[in-house]
């Protein structure tokens, strides 16, 4: 198959995240299986670019506007057998209306939940309204979702369940592996630094942890628009001596820190699926998180972590202290067992079967 996958970012983009990781992991396996994959994305430096990454042909357009305007021409030039419109960002590509080539839509999560604090009204209202048009923009293409909550979102928008396929993400259990834990209670946050990720919530939890575990330390990994508020909260809570802010680091460094940590804190409003939770689980590190869409499916309570009611900081802190106060090998083996249910090879196999079915 000749596959064209369209997303606003690619795996080499400065702000690439879990959405791009899925495309990359699935894409390189599709290429290894004998398919070809062209990934259309948008350049952060506003330059037209083309390059290859592990057999994937990546074409970057200079801007979001140009990408949407040039899409009809690009779709003709790629001569795809199947097209994937990725809704990792709220504005849909609408490829169904520009080509006779069959396609499918990859729906991550309902962006209306995550827009608060990220974009201003009326843009927020426009994007939310646009999501409600998905059933009309894609009135014949099938959808793929990663979680049951995302499927429920699509059905709420009016898309029939018979048009939706569920394909879970994977995790690299060879790369992320358990390691010797720190001698002191250690906490990691690597869930992202955007407002809808609510990274400052982890600091409320950690401040409570310090009251019972004064020698505990926290490591925050990543960067983004919410970093200033995060740093301000660190100083306001007088946590500078206990919290290490690492910024963006290599995946090797990330793996080492996560695998040595006792717990991971996840505080997002919503997710397509909790990718970082799976990576923590593969590393033998349980997660405490709010019970929100996309996260509830990634955590099996009591095995690879604990979820609590959304917004209940006290309960989230209690869950963290419960694990820290009785951290045993059982947590390490339990989290690892959950992660081993998720394989990128299996995910790619399901994607290939889905794409072949759509193409035919």
Shared domain check, 231 and 127: no
Mean per-residue pLDDT of the chain: 95
**Cα gap 15→224, rounded to integer Å:** 8
Burial (CB count <10 Å: 0-12, 13-18, 19+), residue 320: buried
Query: Taking the model in full, what pTM does it have?
Result: 0.93
Region 249-271 average pLDDT: 97
CA atoms within 13 A on the CB side of 25: 21
CATH number of the domain encompassing residue 200: 3.40.50.2000
Shared domain check, 156 and 253: no
Distance between alpha carbon 91 and the CA centroid of its chain, in Å?
Answer: 17
Q: C-alpha dihedral over 294, 296, 299, 300, to 10 degrees?
A: -140
Answer whether 287's CB lies under 8 Å from 281's CB. yes
What are 36's strand-pairing partners? 2
* pLDDT(124) > 80: no
* pLDDT(317) > 80: yes
Q: pLDDT (tens digit, 9 = 90+) per residue, 283-303? A: 999 999 999 999 999 999 999
- Domain span holding position 89: 2-170+343-359
Q: Which single residue is written with the structure tokens 């979102």?
A: 153
pLDDT-based confidence at residue 127 (cuts at 50, 70, 90):
confident
Domain membership flag for residue 176: no
Q: How many domains does the chain have?
A: 2
**Cα gap 67→63, rounded to integer Å:** 6
Shared domain check, 321 and 223: yes
Q: pLDDT (tens digit, 9 = 90+) per residue, 98-111? A: 999 999 999 999 88
Q: Which two tokens stand for residue 202?
A: 């982890």
Q: Which single residue is written with the structure tokens 């919290």?
A: 243
Domain membership flag for residue 279: yes
Q: pLDDT (tens digit, 9 = 90+) per residue, 27-40? A: 999 999 999 999 99
pLDDT-based confidence at residue 15 (cuts at 50, 70, 90):
confident
pLDDT given at position 114: 73
């Amino acid at each position: 198959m000749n596959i064209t996958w369209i997303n606003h970012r690619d795996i080499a983009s400065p702000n690439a995240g879990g959405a791009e990781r899925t495309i990359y992991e699935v894409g390189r396996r599709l290429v290894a299986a004998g398919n070809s994959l062209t990934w259309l994305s948008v350049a952060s430096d506003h330059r037209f670019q083309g390059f290859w990454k592990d057999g994937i042909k990546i074409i970057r357009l200079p801007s979001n506007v140009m990408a949407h305007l040039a899409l009809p021409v690009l779709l003709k030039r790629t001569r795809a057998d199947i097209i994937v419109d990725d809704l990792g960002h709220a504005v849909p590509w609408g490829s169904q209306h520009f080509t006779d080539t069959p396609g499918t839509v990859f729906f991550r999560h309902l962006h209306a939940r995550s827009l608060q604090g990220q974009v201003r009204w009326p843009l927020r209202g426009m994007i939310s309204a646009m999501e409600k048009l998905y059933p009309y923009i894609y009135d014949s293409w099938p959808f793929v979702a990663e979680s049951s909550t995302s499927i429920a979102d699509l059905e709420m928008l009016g898309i029939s369940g018979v048009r939706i396929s569920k394909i879970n993400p994977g995790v690299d259990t060879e790369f992320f592996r358990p390691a010797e834990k720190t001698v002191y209670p250690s906490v990691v946050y690597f869930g992202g630094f955007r407002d809808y990720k609510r990274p400052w919530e982890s600091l409320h939890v950690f401040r409570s942890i310090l009251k019972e575990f004064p020698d505990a330390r926290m490591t925050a990994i990543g960067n983004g628009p919410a970093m200033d508020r995060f740093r301000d909260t660190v100083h306001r809570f007088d946590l500078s001596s206990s919290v290490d802010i690492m910024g963006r680091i290599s995946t090797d460094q990330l793996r080492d820190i996560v695998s040595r940590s006792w717990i991971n804190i996840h505080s997002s409003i919503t997710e397509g699926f909790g990718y970082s939770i799976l990576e923590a689980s593969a590393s033998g590190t349980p997660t405490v998180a709010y019970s929100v869409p996309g996260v509830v499916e990634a955590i099996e309570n009591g095995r690879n972590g604990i979820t609590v009611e959304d917004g209940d900081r006290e309960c989230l802190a209690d869950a963290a202290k419960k694990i820290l106060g009785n951290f045993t090998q059982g947590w390490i083996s339990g989290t690892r067992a959950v992660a081993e249910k998720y394989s990128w090879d299996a995910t790619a196999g399901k994607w290939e079967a889905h794409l072949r079915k759509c193409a035919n």
